[in-house]
Structure 1
Amino acid sequence: MEGSAPGGFGHVVIVGAPEGVAESLVIVVGEERAVPLFSSTAEAREFLDSLTGLDEGWFPAEIPPDNLLEMLRVQPGEVRYVALSPPPEDLEGGMEFRLLEIESLCAVLDMQVARSERTTPAEKVEAPERKGLLRRLLGR
């Protein structure tokens, strides 16, 4: 995919640690809170660059379905949606995009993860010590 980060996962979120705590970016759409989800790092970067008043330290990160699932499941209760490829804020005339309930996306991701686990080799390399997804993305 053009503009996509290496690895071809196709799920890009914006992450950062504005107050020393790693988190995903949450936007307000109407009266709802949503995690913006993009299909490429270029698309996420364009959106991020259009935001005003956002502290430094935020960046697009492409993640596999199992890590996206983990990240979505730890969102606070008031964050019930993902915003699929929201347009840059400074886009004139606006542009439509979809809100998808986190629960619905998690159901799809569960299926993807289960399918990929069935197709991976039986002998797995021992995983290093697990850190939280956002800590791993931020290298902490």
Structure 2
Amino acid sequence: MTTTRTTVEDLLGRIAEGDPAHLAALFADDCDWKLNWPDAEHGRAETPWIRHRTTPAEAAAHFAEIAAHHVPEKNETRIDRILVDGDDAVLLGVIRQVARTTDRPYTSRLALHVTVRDGRITRYHVYEDSLAVAQAFTPGT
């Protein structure tokens, strides 16, 4: 039986691998996926990965879009703590990325709430500094 912690650790390993299709296999067919950005900011041309998702195919697209819009070799994201309570896990850390289009870095504290049922992710809620990300991707700021 797969535990919540095992699934979360698998998720982190797959994110590090950078294979969106392999990552997508961890997500349930109907996943509650949210990013804490203001609704008016979802779907901006500069940050197309910022939108709600529900399916494994959409999860794969999310991770592919993140990779396409960042400079992977300059990623210094780290997870400081994983807290698990039954089916739920909260990951706390720091995102350090560089926007490919502007070559500007940004840093954001991160909280990720994941729910795992039957070894698959059914909730994926990301809390980050949306202003820092938006500024890094907005030309001329």
Structure richer in strand, relative to its length: 2
Larger Rg: 1
Same structural fold, with TM-score higher than 0.5 when normalized by the shorter chain: no
TM-score (norm 1): 0.27
Q: TM-score, normalised by structure 2?
A: 0.27
